[in-house]
Amino acid sequence: MADRKPIYLMTPALLWLTGFMVIPCLLILALAFFRRGIYGGIEYDFTLENIALVFDPLYVGIFIQSAIIAGQSALIASVVGYAAAYAIAAMPKKRQPLLLFLAILPFWSNYLVRTYAWIVLLNREGLVVAVARALGYDQELPSLLYTEGAVIVGLVYNYLPFVILACYAPLARLNTEITEASRDLGAGGWTTFRRITLPMTVPGIATGFVFVFVLSIGNFVTPALLGGGQFQMIGNLVYAQFLTANDWPFGAALSMALIAVMMGLLTLQTFATERASGGRAEGDAHG
Amino acid sequence: MTSALLTIRNVEKHFNKYHAVDGISLDIKENEFFALLGPSGSGKTTLLRMLAGFETPTVGSILLDGEDISRIPPNHRPINLMFQSYALFPHMTVAQNIAYGLEMEKLPKAEIKSRVNEMMEMVQLPHLAGRKPEQLSGGQRQRVALARSLVKRPRLLLLDEPLGALDKKLRGEMQLELKRIQDQFGITFIVVTHDQEEALVMADRIAILKDGKLLQHGTPLEIYEYPQTRFAADFIGVMNFFPATVHGGTLKSADGTSFRAEIPDTISAGDDVMAAVRPERLHLGAGEKENSLTGTVRAMAYHGLDLQVHLDTPLSPQPVMLRLTADAAEGHALSVGDSITAGWSARDTRVFAA
Amino acid sequence: MGNRAPLPFMLAILAAVFAFLYLPISVLFALSFNEGGMPTAWSGFSVKWYYSLFQDKDIIHAALNTLIVAVISTILAAILGTLLAIGVEIRRRKGRFLETMIFAPMIIPDIVLAIALLSFFSLLDVTMGLHTIIVSHVVFNLAFVCSVVRARLKGFDWSIVEASTDLGAPILVTLRRIVVPVLMPAVVAGSLLAFTLSVDEFIIAFFTAGAGRASITLPMQIFSMIRFGVTPEINALSAIVMTVSVVILAVSQRLNRGGLPGQ
């Protein structure tokens, strides 16, 4: 096939992406340097005050709070996800695809609905309370919903299937003979796990952790629905700038900061995976 | 008389209805290089895994130094296994891999270090101590795997198809190398292989397995010259087979020719049998041999060391093969289509039930 | 993996995780059939909430909008994404920049893309409505279709294309009669994926729908129902929406034997 042809095939899509993704994103980048107008419009004066505002302790604090929540969610999801993936990989080989499918299935359903389900469970007249009452617990229960804990549960719930998938891949690829060799040389089950299985499957955990963290920190829906009005993460903040406070330049600056944080994390992850992947070749199961 | 180091007693292994190992008994001695030889599906790998502790016998027991170890988990047995894929820990260096087993024994750091260094010297690896497995060649990886197991000074070392992954030349070198190491360390080696040539070269004694059963065991010479089953005769080396019937003290072939052989007691007059002769036992020209056959040269293959001559004969539906050394072939210019006579001794004829 | 860890323990972990994953969803489903509509008590099996869904004009309107957006954006994405995939895989030289462009829509946080598009449309003084949602959805949909089709292309035997050319077919005919039919399962699978993503998509739709209720989509409707007043209809709506996405994706999976993100 002539090399000329491919360009024609790709052009329509690339034009679309350029026009409706690249340019809008560049626009946001530019927007961060403009001034908010008195009535909420945009004044096209170059200014750095939005960028400076991002570094204001108030907003830095919100970034940090978002990072902490994202970090906790990522941590919990990673531990639970790894345990689940390990369990699936320990099942008879024939059952594994089915189990994996069942683990991923919830991930395919609507994100809003999955988050809403937790409202049903956690709110004042929700299921958890109903069960507690049924068990005879009559006192006033603290509100479970609209707390930081609820947001974390929501985030973990939404991203857990992906972590399971990410951790499953290296676990399934692990050559059985390597763990058997460890036992043959005298190591017990826990030592084998700690010194052989875990180090060799770390890339999967890293991928899962970063995925959850990155998606959580920029998340808007979950903190909005499960965190209630008072709850502010970066996602909600950006939303507010654009739809209530009408300070688009500042919102743009915040988004830029968010992207910067994400890019930093992704680079770190690529770096860490490359270091750990020194062992990929021999660790894979041979035919 | 030295009592056996390892006794395998009536061991069977069932997977649902399938008997992977179907009643095997063997004694293996100290300081012996033993081979478990058989085609795939013969149960040899399953038997090896039972010795290592990764499978438990369904029936029977395994005794090490008189003690039943059948139920002891692999990490508590003084037996080590060298895996077919070597199973080196990819995230550890060569030195760390070798040290691993010693760390499990909770030895003091200094002792571990010195034993690891000693072992690396012995397998000629000291310059590779800091490398990771992916940076090593196949032969080097194998030596690391060997070192990792040997450094623990096990009572018994099991090797699962140790030479399968190596190229031909390396394989030849490693066969001798393994023998040398076994001799030097004085540890009993049990090798599982499907390559009969390998077994013949390396082992002090061989056990032939088929379909989970033990067919025969003995020294390489015994196995080669005196196979007790037709399968063993065919599996080891190359063998010529002729169908025949027993008449009196002689065998009568399909085309009526008589020939002499030592007929085993289990076979009676009138029985149908398969007679067998090794290609190198067939000589050009009838000479003074008791038995002879005539045939037409169908093909010839020169192998440097010997000349293989394939004859079409009425004696057998398959072509018969002669192996002639350079001396024997000298003076006889053979071509395809020639009619020739070959002779062999009665005592070189093997007889098996048909 | 080895049979080391005790099996009952592993089963317990699996049971716990699956319970966690499926409990909320199951509760929603159960609740949608609950006469009383509240989780506090079960007052009997009823499909009345489903009935009232179909009476609710707002919801029907939103559903229709969602369907229009999904169908149109999927068709556009299928064409653009497939062409892009073929173009990329034919090229001998792979550009890093090109790869980044193609993956970007899937990696960018949706809120950033949402505000970028909002700013863009505002700047151009475009009246926003279903058309702007469609345009925006095509952006990430084409990336997903492209990724699914590319996966299929990686195992593609190019010699059949050469055979077609050798037998005299011009390029477009070869594309139409040889390449496209072989790619069809992947294109369909990618399209189903795009369709589902569009149906479920909330943030970008929310920001690019413009003012007023004319171009409200189903996820937007659900969001405001959750935010501003929970009526039991939501449970029925949720049940339907979930089932639809899962069924479509399962069918897509079957068609393409995997190759979706997540497999």
Q: What span, in angstroms and rounded, lies between the C-alpha atoms of B56 and A119?
A: 52
How far from A282 is each of A177, B90, B136, B141, C179, CA to CA, in Å?
11, 6, 11, 10, 38
Under DSSP, the state recorded for C144 is: H
Query: What mean pLDDT do residues B12-27 have?
Result: 92
Residue finishing a domain among B206, B230, B254: B230
Give chain C's radius of gyration (CA, Å): 22
Q: What is the pLDDT of residue C185?
A: 86
Q: What is the pTM of this model?
A: 0.79
pLDDT of B264 over the 90 cut: no
Distance from CA of A51 to the nearest CA of C (A): 16
- C217 alpha-carbon distance from chain centroid: 14
Per-residue exposure over B221-246, b if at least 16 CB sit within 10 Å of its own CB, e if not: eebbeebbebbbbebbbebbbbebeb
Under 8 Å between Cβ of B119 and B100: no
In this structure, the number of other CB atoms found within 10 A of the CB of residue A143 comes to 13
- Cβ-nearest to C38 among A80, A90, A125: A125
Q: Following DSSP, what letter does each residue of B217-275 receive, concatenated? A: EE-HHHHHHS-SSHHHHHHSS--EEEEEEEETTEEEETTS-EEE-PPPTT--TT-EEEE
Assess whether B245 and B148 both reside in one domain.
Answer: no
Structure tokens at B216: 């025969």
Q: What residues of chain B lie within 8 A of the CB of A279, using their CB?
A: 89-91, 132-134
- Cβ-nearest to A187 among B83, B86, B104: B104
Q: What is the pLDDT of residue A2?
A: 46
Are A157 and C20 inside 8 Å of each other by CB?
Answer: yes
Are β-strands B6-15 and B59-64 bridged in parallel, bridged antiparallel, or unpaired?
Answer: antiparallel
Are C28 and A116 inside 8 Å of each other by CB?
Answer: yes
With an 8 Å Cβ cutoff, is B15 touching chain A? no
Q: What is the pLDDT of residue A40?
A: 62
Instruction: Report domain extents, chain C.
Output: 44-256
Are A13 and C207 inside 8 Å of each other by CB?
Answer: no
Pick from A184, A198, A201, A277 the residue to mutate for testing the B interface (most B CBs within 10 Å): A184
Assess whether B184 and B142 both reside in one domain.
Answer: yes
Instruction: Report domain extents, chain A.
Output: 55-233
With an 8 Å Cβ cutoff, is A231 touching chain C? no
Low-confidence ranges of chain A (pLDDT < 70): 1-6, 38-41, 124-125, 138-142, 229-231, 276-287
Task: Kindly list the strands in the beta sheet with B6-15, ordered across the sheet, starting from the edge strand earlier in the chain.
Answer: B18-28, B6-15, B59-64, B67-68
Assess whether B91 and B179 both reside in one domain.
Answer: yes
Assess whether B226 and B242 both reside in one domain.
Answer: no
Half-sphere exposure of A86 (CA within 13 A, CB side): 22
Q: What span, in angstroms and rounded, lies between the C-alpha atoms of B221 and B32?
A: 16
Q: What residues of chain A lie within 8 A of the CB of C245, using their CB?
A: 108-110
Are C14 and A99 inside 8 Å of each other by CB?
Answer: yes
Under 8 Å between Cβ of A160 and C22: no
Are A180 and B85 inside 8 Å of each other by CB?
Answer: no
Are B75 and A283 inside 8 Å of each other by CB?
Answer: no
- Cβ-nearest to A281 among B73, B90, B149: B90
Structure tokens at C119: 């700013």
Q: What residues of chain A lie within 8 A of the CB of B87, using their CB?
A: 175, 177-178, 180-181
Assess whether B313 and B203 both reside in one domain.
Answer: no
Q: What is the CATH number of domain A55-233?
A: 1.10.3720.10
Structure tokens at B126: 């000291």
Q: Give residue-wise pLDDT tens across range A14-51.
A: 899 989 999 999 988 888 888 777 666 677 777 788 88
Q: Give residue-wise pLDDT tens across range C110-156.
A: 889 999 999 899 888 888 889 999 999 999 999 999 998 988 888 77
Distance from CA of A164 to the nearest CA of C (A): 10
pLDDT of C91 over the 80 cut: no
Are C17 and A84 inside 8 Å of each other by CB?
Answer: yes
Are A20 and C139 inside 8 Å of each other by CB?
Answer: yes
Q: What is the CATH number of domain C44-256?
A: 1.10.3720.10
With an 8 Å Cβ cutoff, is B88 touching chain A? yes
Of A81, A120, A96, A26, nearest in space to A201 by CA: A81
Length of chain B as a residue count: 354
CATH code, domain with B333: 2.40.50.100
Helix (H, G, I), strand (E, B) or coil at B335: coil
Pick from C31, C40, C115 the residue to mutate for testing the A interface (most A CBs within 10 Å): C115
Round the average pLDDT of chain B to a whole number and report it.
90
| Chain B residue with Cα closest to A197 | B89
How many structural domains is chain B composed of? Answer: 2
Q: Which residues, at least 6 apart from A231, have a Cβ–Cβ distance to it below 8 Å?
A: A146, A148, A151, A223, A224
Assess whether B26 and B170 both reside in one domain.
Answer: yes
Q: Following DSSP, what letter does each residue of A130-183 receive, concatenated? A: HHHHHTT--SPPPP-SSSHHHHHHHHHHHHHHHHHHHHHHHHHHB-HHHHHHHH
Residue finishing a domain among B230, B254, B275: B230
Q: State the ipTM, two decimals.
A: 0.82
With an 8 Å Cβ cutoff, is B74 touching chain A? yes
Query: What mean pLDDT do residues C52-79 have?
Result: 92
Length of chain C as a residue count: 263
Structure tokens at B149: 């197991």
Residue with tokens 């099991």: B158
- Give the domain extent around B87: 4-230
Under 8 Å between Cβ of A14 and C101: yes
Query: What mean pLDDT do residues C6-31 have?
Result: 89
The single-letter code of the amino acid at A272 is A
Distance from CA of A182 to the nearest CA of B (A): 8
Q: What is the pLDDT of residue A140?
A: 67
Phi-psi category of B186—alpha, beta or left, where left has phi over 0 and alpha has psi -120 to 50? left
The helix (H) or strand (E) run that includes residue B145 is helix B138-150
- Cβ-nearest to A9 among C3, C83, C219: C83
Phi-psi category of A80—alpha, beta or left, where left has phi over 0 and alpha has psi -120 to 50? alpha
Q: Give residue-wise pLDDT tens across range B123-176.
A: 888 899 999 998 999 889 999 999 999 999 999 999 999 988 788 888 888 899
Q: What is the pLDDT of residue C13?
A: 92
Task: State the burial class of residue A274 (Cβ atoms within 10 Å of its Cβ: 0-12, 13-18, 19+).
Answer: exposed
Q: What residues of chain A lie within 8 A of the CB of C143, using their CB?
A: 17
